[in-house]
Structure 1
């Protein structure tokens, strides 16, 4: 896969088990976000992806995607509750009526991320951590089976990070599959079951216990200094 004329990903592959929580880990420019977008069909790719054994286009209703905050236009004049309801558009249709049941479902999703008191607030008036909680609530509204998140903990406060990881772990415990780009190596063991170590190609993939090791971290980042600081 090319990006700005250079290879962003080459021979990157993974097989993520259902009901697991996987971190995609690698240095800046390793192709982590590009991999997610390629899987979702948001970036052109020569490769292929199957979700639950089927082409991604056939199971998009089972996938919820939370992009990086920097990719969102936060100036758009919309209320928090309306953002969450966007996650239920497959149930309403783009022009469908929002039923009281759907509105209550959206409110329940906000409660799950601790944002129920902000339902009528403009999304642009929230802090970065609050915005990230709302976008996770929107994903929850989809009732997905696979949650794909691009740097969900970037730039959020400690309380928000704790809330987000608690919700993601509860989704995993309910049978959902979680895949997230993650940068903080110090929290990998506490947060995730599995890792995909990536640096424009797959360096290693497997459980945290067997794969998130000093040797593999060093190979992924290309240096022992980062490895020593991470373990």
Structure 2
């Protein structure tokens, strides 16, 4: 019989192995994302953090392992999941406005013809307002700063009204004001019962930002509540015996 906690987990990754060009990136990695909490995936560069997230989304095909969402195949639950990619992976020269990006989060609601109505526009603007970007709704996305672009992509995810939010390095390269705005929105989602999973690199903010952590270095070193898992001993194991000064 399965553990009831695992049955309700929004995301469950078991024994995941991924290889790029014959080189192993992840080997037997496990991840359980608790419902209604904020979870961080942390580890050194090259540890496979983004690969784990992309595999969980079905964007990277693993060699082996199982991935379920709410104890169902990932494909059956995709409408309940929103994704914010790394900024570096986005073509910011694509000619589109801030509002049009936010409206992309409503594509499942718009139907086959992608025909927007006033209430769709109002909803997208409300999501932009939550991240402090509604005043720039008509601005070209490529004209924004890095922090502003990140806020817009978060607004797109909010428009999906998902239950599980997956974010790949959402605080990388943003200013302090944007980081504060993003964490406020993410904590608001958590407090509303949503589940948030972030690839994260700043160890100094982990205890303040996250309820749960997964320490990764090509395999899962440890995972659990931040208070009991984010320890010097586990960090030493994760970072190959060199405790990061930021911790």
TM-score, with structure 1 as normaliser = 0.97
- Normalized per residue, the structure richer in strand is 2
Residue 8 of structure 1 corresponds to which residue in structure 2? 25
- 1:169 aligned partner: 187
Aligned to 2:149: 131
Deviation at 1:54, TM superposition (A): 1.0
Deviations 1:33-83 (A, max 9, x none): 000111111111122211112111011111000000000000000000000
The gaps in structure 2 that reach 5 residues or longer are 1-17
> Could you say what secondary structure the match of 2:109 adopts?
helix
Q: In 2, Cα distance between the equivalents of 1:146 and 1:176?
A: 6
Name the structure with the higher helix share. 1
Report how far residue 4 of structure 1 moved: 3.1
Aligned partner of 1:51 among 69, 76, 85: 69
CA distance in 1, matches of 2:184, 2:85: 19
User: TM-score, normalised to structure 2's length?
Assistant: 0.91
Paired residue for 1:188, among 182, 206, 212? 206
**Contact 1:2 1:9 (8 Å CA) reproduced:** yes
- Deviation by residue 1:135-159 (Cα, 9 ceiling, x = unmatched): 0000000000000000000000000
SS at match of 2:65: coil
Give the whole-Å Cα distance in 2 for the aligned partners of 1:81 and 1:95: 18
* Unpaired stretches in structure 1, ≥5 consecutive residues: none
Matched ranges for 1:148-163 at <5 A: 148-163=166-181
- Number of residue-to-residue matches in the alignment: 229
1:230 corresponds in structure 2 to 246
| Equivalent pair of 2:232/2:243 in contact (CA under 8 Å) | no
Q: In the alignment, what sits opposite 1:90? A: 108
Aligned to 1:114: 132
Match of 1:9, SS state, is: strand
Match 1:21 to one of 24, 38, 42: 38
CA contact (8 A) 1:198 1:220 kept: yes
CA distance in 1, matches of 2:59, 2:234: 29
How far off is 1:224 after superposition? 3.4
Q: Which moved more, 1:3-12 or 1:148-157?
A: 3-12
Report the more deviating stretch, 156-165 or 37-46. Answer: 37-46
Task: Specify which structure has the bigger relative contact order, considering alpha-carbon pairs within 8 angstroms and separated by 6 or more residues.
Answer: 1
Give the Å deviation of 1:223: 2.4
Residue equivalent to 2:5: none
Residue 60 (str. 1) matches residue 68 (str. 2): no
Correspondent of 2:233 among 211, 215, 219:
215
Superposition RMSD in Å: 0.9
1:96: Cα distance to partner? 2.6
Deviation at 1:93, TM superposition (A): 2.2
Q: Aligned with 1:117: secondary structure? A: helix
Q: Which residue of 2 aligns with 1:39?
A: 56
